[in-house]
Amino acid sequence: MLDSCAKRTGWIAVCVAVLVMAAAAEPASAQTPATITVRTDHAQILKMPPKTTTIVIGNPMIADVAVQKNGSMVVTGKAYGTTNLIAQDSSGAVLGESIIQVEAATDGIILVQRGLERESYSCTPRCQPTLSLGDVQRHFESVSGQTTSRNGLAK
């Protein structure tokens, strides 16, 4: 029994040593970028790395970034999906990279599913039709048209 236990312990030590060596051999650039999670139509304020002069968004249809004068940036979720954000200095060197994951806004949203057709309603506190990616076209266009008309009257 002791012999068997010693063999197992020796095998575990070898496995741990191999994993530690493999991790140490990985270059620093192979680190997994941080993930920023934001919801559609919501914003998040984040600090930029020091000396950042340029922010690049992989797919601006998924997320948008507005750079502020105080060294922060506003990340806004535009559509469901994942993209990346790269911060560069004035020489073009990469200072940092993050993954931006945009999820559906769910607070106070009720989905009405009729077969394959979906409609979204914002229930804060009364339920009113709202625009949400993935809604059936007639619902989306109706709400969009009303919203555009109302916003036009406010000008």
| Contact assessment for residue 107 and residue 98, using Cβ atoms and an 8 Å cutoff | no
Contacts of 117 (CB under 8 A, 6+ apart): 136, 139
Query: Which residue has better confidence, 17 or 65?
Result: 65
Q: CB burial class (10 A; 0-12, 13-18, 19+) of residue 135?
A: buried
* CA–CA separation, 123 and 127 (whole Å): 4
> What is the topology classification, in CATH, of domain 29-103?
Immunoglobulin-like (2.60.40)
Q: What is the pLDDT of residue 154?
A: 87
Domain boundaries, the chain: 29-103, 109-153
Q: How many residues does the chain have?
A: 155
| Contact assessment for residue 113 and residue 101, using Cβ atoms and an 8 Å cutoff | no
Query: Which residue has better confidence, 6 or 90?
Result: 90
| Contact assessment for residue 147 and residue 132, using Cβ atoms and an 8 Å cutoff | no
Partners of 113 in the β-ladder: 118
Distance of CA 24 to the CA centre of its chain: 29
Q: Tell whether pTM > 0.85.
A: no
Report the number of secondary-structure helices (H) and strands (E) in the chain.
2, 10
Q: What is the pLDDT of residue 30?
A: 53
